[in-house]
Structure 1
Amino acid sequence: MDVAQALHDGRHGDPFSILGPHLKGDSAVLTAVDHGAATLAAVVDGEAHPLTRVSDGLGVFSGRIPAGAPYVLRGGDGNGNDWEYQDAYRFGPVIGEMDEYLLGEGTHQRIWKVLGAHVMTHEGVDGTHFAVWAPNAQRVSVVGGFNHWDGRRHVMRKRGATGVWEIFVPGVGDKEVYKYEIIGPHGDLQPLKADPVGFGSQHPPENASMVRDIRGFGWQDQEWMGHREGNNARTAPIAVYEVHLGSWKRHPEEGNRPLSYIEAAEQLVDYVADMGFTHIELMPVSEYPFDGSWGYQPVGLFAPTVRHGPPHEFRNLVEAAHRKGMGVILDWVPGHFPTDAHGLGKFDGTHLYEHADPREGFHQDWNTLIYNYGRIEVKNFLVSNALYWLEEYHVDGLRVDAVASMLYRDYSRAHDQWIPNKDGGRENYEAIAMLRDTNSIVYGQQPGIMTVAEESTSFPGVSQPVDSGGLGFGYKWNMGWMNDTLRYMEQDPIHRQYHHHQMTFGIHYAFSENFILPISHDEVVHGKGSMLDKMPGDRWQKFANLRAYYGFMWGHPGKKLLFMGQEFAQPGEWRHQEQLSWGVLEDPAHRGIQNLIRDLNGLYRGYPALHVKDCDPAGFQWIELNDNQQSILSWIRRGSEHDAEIAVVCNFTPVERQGYRMGLPSTGRWREVLNTDAEVYGGSGKGNMGGVEATDTAWQGQPASAEVLLPGLSTLIFVKDG
């Protein structure tokens, strides 16, 4: 194919070498393509310089113009209709040499500053700069309404060995819809692709990227940012409210639409603050095509989902939480991505982001693709994305989804369906390196943030520093504790004596990691029922069991996490397409659970003994762990030297225990600061008249003790006066 034909067809791999002005002596030779023009001229300082069609039937024109002069192109259809526009090929590159070097090296920590679509003024003209990584493509074009989705019109400039293509398109601005049209290495046209580093998207099911100008928000959360490190520390009270933003509340009268970011900034933030939680954790907000994935199969990792509004409005939500003294954690999904044609799969006609071999590159459980963590550009893409959310949106933490699936090459695979590492083992060295690099960089670049691993195995050192051989996460979800204790609570109380160890075993490893105790969305979907459904007995006993369990959880070492709706005993399983059952709060039993969670959060935040040593064995001591016959547990929580000690006792049978002697670490008055059987929580109202008096009768290994009334199915919390 000759050059003119290749330019006309948009298949020339280096159009900038020919199109645009090129100096020839004292003037410049200008070559341009306009497929709809019968005539074409360059207008310089109001004077038209006609260009000549280089070949019949082709929209390629050429001619001389004054050297170095700005110009616009004027086309005509021969019927008196003219149009003028800026020529994208007269503009120089935007990406600098240092950016190009770092991109090629795979060490550019802020690739979103270079790649993606950036509204800017370039060489005195307003427009948008587009840049995308597609190293194996023969040609890449940006297409959209601005060029009639015609891939021949804005073929991009390839930047050497980096594999990055770029172009500045004058006149394109905020909210313009676009995709990339790519010709693969064998000359085949690929499906139109969304921008991997795009900042916005169309509303699903439409899936084009959208230009979003994310500059200039004007943050007003300096006070929070200045002291958030203390709010995320191991010694801080951390009580997380996990939210699926699409179903927390909806507007049935408006087509059942979910809340906008702006509405959530008021309604959600005010509610969570009133309930006493310290952090809001949002299930993934990175753009995703399928509602039923809940965001865990993202396509646009750099785009806050448009389901709730544009990027700046997501910032409004984060800022509103900060003004109320709460942090915001995002679920982050670097473990896999969906196979949608507009996504990352075979992006430039090759297995670019994913492994080519399905034994490494395909998740059988989820029918998704796995990132090739060993490719430096892919690792850089993910590490930079983590930093992006923390830096651009002031997010306070990232909870990394499905870490176990990343750590092991044989995750959920038969023996002949995976490839060992170079040493013959099952560990995924490349994924481990990516996670370590991510944690090292984000903690180094954004002081005070936290990262959290959802990791369901006993992989060592998940929340230990990288320089000590760990993965470098700040916290780890305690999945073992969750599974054991929920299996215990599902037992009829008469059988609990045979499962007593399920409530005590967690202490054996409670301080091996910095743990968060999670009751997440995963526990109330796929036929598992709601938390209330899990509890045995009649209606009253179900609520009493749940109250006692929550008391046990908040008294137990470890930070806390509760999925939305469970704070008022959502009666049924969570459904992503419906709002929570807020109407049940008219029922005193449900309202009582809500009151309990609010008060538990207040105690947890107010008494250092309940949080300062959540991750320190010095903060815990058993009083009684072996009373399986009565299904009673008791323990002490301690903070710093001068903090009041806390004693917790749980009765997991419906039998009331009067005169139960409980060991205590000191004599004197112990106030009953919480009783899950209190009437305000929906209980029977039985208790200890505000407290007990401990005498010097040694008991249960403690130097003092007191007679305590333990209501059936209850947890009581006492604090030492003074």
Structure 2
Amino acid sequence: MGLTPEQIARLLEGREDDPFATLGVHPAGKGFTACVLLPEAVSVTAYRLDGKAVGALDRIDPAGLFFGRLSIRKRQPLRYHATYADGGEYSLIDPYSFGPVLGPMDDHYFAEGSHARLFDKMGAHIITHEGVEGTHFAVWAPNARRVSVVGDFNRWDGRRGAMRRRQDSGVWEIFLPEVGVGSAYKFEIVGPDGVVLPLKADPFAFQSELRPATASIVAAVPDHVWGDERHRAHWQKADARREPISIYEVHAGSWQRDDAGNFLTWDELANRLIPYVVGMGFTHIEFLPISEFPYDPSWGYQTTGLYAPTARFGDPEGFARFVDGAHRAGVGVILDWVPAHFPTDAHGLARFDGTALYEHADPRKGFHPDWNTAIYNFGRREVAQYLANNALFWAERYHVDGLRVDAVASMLYLDYSRKEGEWIPNQHGGRENVEAVEFLQQMNKALYGAQAGIMTIAEESTSWPKVSHPVHEGGLGFGFKWNMGFMHDTLRYLTRDPVHRAHHHDDITFGLLYAFTENFVLALSHDEVVHGKSSLLHKMAGDDWQKFATLRAYYAMMWGYPGKKLLFMGQEFAQREEWSEERALDWHLLDHRLHQGVQLLVGDLNRLYRSHPALHARDCEVEGFEWVLVDAAADSVFAWVRRAPGAPPVVVISHFTPQLRQGYRMRLPSGGRWREIMNSDALDYGGSGAGNMGFVTADEEGWANVTIPPFGTLMLELDY
């Protein structure tokens, strides 16, 4: 017969860790035999792929194991035709009659942690192998006793999809003929203790089922024809630090909804969101995480499918169309990216092969108390490689312009949000996560090295040095860093009653002491308008009129302050309520003049920022900033000048009391006529209309009398 009772038992019980040694076609003397497991079948006939019958197999076990000799002269793929007791029939090409797809160099680079094309090898790929079309599956599970790919194509039976183990890398692979696009699948994994784990989604899945379903989907080979050459060419040549960057942060599920309250598809978002962003003058859209995640209230920050755009908004091709459409309109796309932690859902990465594979086994390093999530083991080569490849994947496959990396501080510090005794010091006895530092440096080096025009942005809330400095200078290698200090200090200042602001002048001035130590993004993000923090409008002190005036003055000050800009959706029209992922923004507010005025102001600020190099070309360099008036605490007035080579300077004057200051004496950087290019108190914005009739004239020494509106920000450009 050729099979021992033990081999038969291992196959039927799903304990076989080397299925290719028994299943498929094997030499026997001068001929060949075939073995196939088809539970419940009553007869099986083997055929060559050209249709010629080459043998009827014997059922050697009632459970559905068939074995027999073949009339073939060389080893080759076979097709089996099975019949069932109810008269049903089933045909399949034997996956165990094919050789491996991966090669020894894949094993070498994978084990070394230097494979830069993992997303071409791992996961599910439609290929033609040995002349047959099907899907190749590959997954890393080095401690598993058995790994099977299961789906409708094999009745979710792990005995029928057992994979080939590649001993040198811990990767399991199999080629399944005739399994095509749209097939749902998971991995059935037997852990080192012999226990069958809950079915696992593919860590490299390029498409996923819509929640609450959690299976991975065999995705189509990308065939999108990109038309964004002009956009990409511009950013590939540009120094992003000297470009205008104004980011509109968006939660794709709650920006707008359709008439029935459902999510918009990527195409619907493209038709609505892209024109809106263009009209508002923003340069980039930044999406809260759009990789697959199971739980809507997590906003995407607890992702289980780093390589798959979430099914909530359509298929992956739809996301590619969105990015291409944005690029054709001159708008960049940035994604929130979450390598800091992952959820412990049973179908995800947690204890993937029955061991702590992607995470640390010790909860003092491998568990986040704040989020009840697992922490990646950045010191494991395969894990760091998995994450770095994901960054490369989004830039290459979907042409995204940048990644904003979430919760970097939680990665950098071993004692992040932990008490004494709840964390493990590094090898030097310190609190720095040396492994995470090395991972971030290597990720940034790989991404910037492979993708010209890309940018990475760190959400890092501490004073870790050189976050946005090159790795070769001892930095982490990010392009930019969120300026959390600016956000916290200025919002704290503006929540105070105007009468008290004179005593807290340094809430505004302090940030300029470190404004050029990093390449900063000034972010008024989603985190500031949730969980009882109220909307930006309601953070402002005073009555409704004061709130609107102060918010307008704040925005204009921010757009005149050194650093790139980011504003969360809804704040551009002064959303009144806190943001909730459960509903669309309150677009009806735009029926009211004051909300229209704020929206008009933000659009004008974006256009000014983009069209005046003095406001953006030296955002990250001290040469682009100089105080004009830093010590007017008693008046709550601040003034500075922004400069850029070859461009007229712009003076920014901000005032945060309800007084109208007429004939306010100050010394501008030079004499001459200064044109008023921005006044946040303009009637069009809902203000009182106080201003300077278009111009301020300074004497030869620069002294001028300026009318400063109540709760107002002015921008004056030297008019030669």
TM-score by length of 1: 0.97
**What is the aligned partner in structure 2 of residue 71 from structure 1?**
78
Match of 2:652 in 1: 648
Query: How far is the alpha carbon of 1:559 from its aligned partner?
Result: 0.5
Name 1:699's counterpart in structure 2.
Answer: none
Q: 5-14 vs 335-344, which deviates more?
A: 5-14
2:702 is aligned with 1:715: no
RMSD: 1.2
My pick for the range that moved more, 353-362 or 81-90, is 81-90
Match of 2:108 in 1: 101
CA distance in 2, matches of 1:164, 1:208: 20
1:498-530 Cα deviation digits (max 9, x unpaired): 110000000000000000000000000000000
Q: Is this contact kept in 1: 2:12–2:63, CA < 8 A?
A: no
SS in 1 for 2:249: strand
Is the 8 Å Cα contact of residues 668 and 702 (structure 2) preserved in structure 1? Answer: yes
1:546 and 2:551 equivalent? yes
Q: Tell me what 2:611 maps to.
A: 606
Structure 2 residue matching 1:63: 3-state secondary structure: strand
The equivalent residue for 2:148 is 141
| 1:18-51 C-alpha deviation (Å, 9 max, x unpaired) | 2111223442221111112222221134224111
**Equivalent residue for 1:626?**
631
> For residues 86-120 of structure 1, what are the alpha-carbon distances to aligned partners after superposition, in whole Å with 9 as ceiling and x for unaligned?
11111111112222221121111121110101112
Partner residue of 2:644?
Answer: 639
When residues 82 and 656 of structure 1 are mapped into structure 2, their CA distance, relative to the original with a 3 A threshold, is: closer
How far 1:9 sits from its partner (Å)? 2.2
Q: CA deviation at 1:10?
A: 2.3
1:185 lines up with 2:192 in the alignment: yes
Native 8 Å contact 2:480 2:519 kept in 1: yes
SS at the partner of 1:257? Answer: coil
Residue 324 of structure 1 corresponds to which residue in structure 2? 329
How far does the alpha carbon of each residue in 1:515-557 deviate from its partner, in whole angstroms, 9 at most, with x for none?
0000000000000000001011111111000001001100100
Aligned equivalent of 1:20: 24
Q: Are residue 469 (structure 1) and residue 485 (structure 2) matched?
A: no
Query: C-alpha separation between the residues in 2 aligned to 1:432 and 1:361?
Result: 16
Q: Quick check: 2:246–2:284 contact (8 Å CA) kept in 1?
A: yes
Other structure's SS at 1:250 match? coil
Q: 1:185 aligns to what SS in structure 2?
A: coil
**Whole-angstrom CA distance in 2 between matches of 1:248 and 1:151:** 42
> Is the contact between residue 521 and residue 564 of structure 2 (CA under 8 Å) also seen in structure 1?
yes
Q: How many Å apart are 1:229 and its aligned residue?
A: 3.0
Once the 2 structures are TM-superposed, how far is the Cα of residue 124 of structure 1 from its aligned partner? 1.8
Which letter does structure 2 place at the counterpart of 1:454? E
The match for 1:61 among 46, 53, 67 is: 67
**Alignment gaps of 5+ in structure 2:** none
* Residue equivalent to 2:686: 682
For residue 300 of structure 1, what is the aligned residue in structure 2? 305
Aligned mates of 2:86, 2:600 — CA distance in 1 = 76
CA displacement at 1:80 relative to structure 2: 4.9
Residue identity in the other structure for 1:648: V
Separation in 1 of the partners of 2:205 and 2:215? 10
Q: What are the Cα deviations for residues 170-198 of structure 1, in whole angstroms up to 9, with x where unaligned?
A: 12111111110000001001011000000
Q: Is the 8 A contact 1:630 1:653 kept in 2?
A: yes
1:407-426, aligned counterparts within 5 Å? Answer: 407-426=412-431
Worse-superposed segment, 201-210 or 48-57: 48-57
Q: Are residues 1:201 and 2:201 paired?
A: no
Are residues 1:370 and 2:370 paired?
Answer: no
SS, match of residue 394 in structure 2: helix
Query: Superposition pairs for residues 559-578 of structure 1, below 5 Å?
Result: 559-578=564-583
Tell me the equivalent position of 2:159: 152
The residue identity in structure 2 corresponding to 1:659 is: G
How is 1:295-444 mapped onto 2 (pairs within 5 angstroms)? 295-444=300-449
Provide, for residues 467-489 of structure 1, a one-character-per-residue CA deviation record: whole Å limited to 9, x for no partner: 01000000000001110000001
The answer to whether the Cα contact below 8 Å between 1:345 and 1:353 also exists between their aligned partners in 2 is: yes
Match of 1:271 in 2: 276
* Structure 1 residue 53, shift from structure 2 partner: 2.7
Q: Is the 2:466–2:476 contact (alpha carbons within 8 Å) kept by the matching residues of 1? A: yes
Deviations along 1:560-617, one digit per CA (max 9) or x if unpaired, are: 0000000000011000011000000010100000000000011100110001110000
CA distance in 1, matches of 2:703, 2:459: 40
The one-letter code sitting in structure 2 at the alignment partner of 1:53 is R
CA distance in 1 between partners of 2:272 and 2:312 (Å): 17
Give the C-alpha shift of residue 648 in structure 1.
0.8
Separation (CA, whole Å) in 2 of partners of 1:335 and 1:350? 20
The aligned amino acid for 2:151 is G
1:523-538 residue pairs with structure 2 within 5 A?
523-538=528-543
Distance 1:25 1:223, change over 3 A: farther
User: For residue 92 of structure 2, what is the aligned residue in structure 1?
Assistant: 85
Partner of residue 705, structure 1:
703
Tell me: CA distance 1:268–1:87, structure 2 relative to 1, closer, same or farther (3 Å).
Answer: same
CA contact (8 A) 2:470 2:477 kept: yes
Match of 1:284, SS?
A: coil
Quick one: which of 487, 501, 511 aligns to 1:506? 511
Corresponding residue SS for 2:442: helix
Please tell me the residue identity of whatever aligns with 1:684: S
Mapping 1:213-252, distance limit 5 Å: 213-230=220-237, 233-251=240-258
Q: SS of the counterpart of 1:132?
A: strand
TM, length-normalised to structure 2? 0.98
Partners in 2 of 1:391 and 1:622 — Cα distance? 43
Distance 1:34 1:464, change over 3 A: same
Task: Provide the residue aligned with 1:121 in structure 2.
Answer: 128
Task: Output the CA distance in 1 between the equivalents of 2:567 and 2:654.
Answer: 20
2:285 aligned to 280, 301, 306, which one? 280
For 1:70 and 1:194, locate their aligned partners in 2 and report how far apart those are by CA, in whole Å: 29
1:148–1:206 distance in 2 versus 1, CA, 3 Å: same
Matching residue's letter, 2:311 = V
Give the distance between the partners of 1:388 and 1:6, measured in 2 at CA: 39
Tell me the secondary structure at the aligned position of residue 38 of structure 1. strand
Q: CA 1:78 to 1:204, structure 2 compared with 1: closer, same or farther past 3 Å?
A: closer
Fraction of identical pairs, as percent: 54
Structure 1 residue runs of 5 or longer lacking an equivalent are 697-702
For the Cα contact (< 8 Å) 1:4–1:60, is it kept in 2? no
The one-letter code sitting in structure 2 at the alignment partner of 1:665 is P
User: How many Å apart are 1:237 and its aligned residue?
Assistant: 0.6
Alignment partner of 1:592: what SS? helix
Report the CA distance between 1:168 and its aligned residue.
0.9
